[in-house]
Amino acid sequence: MAAQNKFKLALSSPSGPPLTICWLSLACDTAAELLAQAGFAACLVDAEHAPNDLDLIRRQIMAIELSGQSSVIARTPINEPWVIKRLMDAGAQTILVPMVDTAEQAAAAAAALRFPPEGTRGVAGASRAAGFGGYRKGYLTTANAEACCIVQIESTTGVANIEAIAAVPGVDALFIGPSDLAASLGHLGNPNAPEVLEVLESAVQRIVAAGKPCGIFAFEPERARRFIELGARFVAVGSDVSLLVAGAKALVAEFAPKPPT
151 vs 83: CA distance, rounded Å = 15
Query: 149: which strand partners?
Result: 95
Name residue 216's beta-bridge partners: 176, 235
DSSP-derived letter for residue 79 is S
Return all residues near 68 (Cβ < 8 A) that are at least 6 apart: none
- Residue 65 has phi, psi (to 5 degrees) of -60, -40
CA 193 to CA 196: how far, in whole Å? 5
What is the mean pLDDT, run by run of 10 residues, along the chain of 261 residues? 95 91 98 97 98 97 95 98 97 98 98 98 95 92 97 98 98 98 98 97 98 97 97 98 97 90 75
Count Cα atoms within 13 angstroms, Cβ side, for 222: 1
Alpha-carbon span 5 to 72, nearest angstrom: 9
Residues 6+ apart with CB under 8 A from 211: 166
**CATH homologous superfamily, domain 16-239:** Phosphoenolpyruvate-binding domains (3.20.20.60)
Largest CA distance in the chain: 74
pLDDT at 259: 82
Specify the pLDDT at position 261: 75
Burial environment of residue 52 by CB neighbours within 10 A (0 to 12, 13 to 18, 19 or more): buried
Given this model, what pLDDT does residue 134 score?
85
- Tell me, what's the pLDDT at 54? 96
pTM score of the predicted model: 0.96
> Any idea where the domains of the chain sit in the sequence?
16-239
Cα 10 to Cα 233: distance, rounded to the nearest angstrom: 9
pLDDT of residue 199: 98
Does the annotation count 187 as an active-site position? no
pLDDT for residue 200: 98
Catalytic residue from among 1, 49, 163, 209: 49
Report the 10 Å Cβ neighbour count for 193: 15
pLDDT of 188: 98
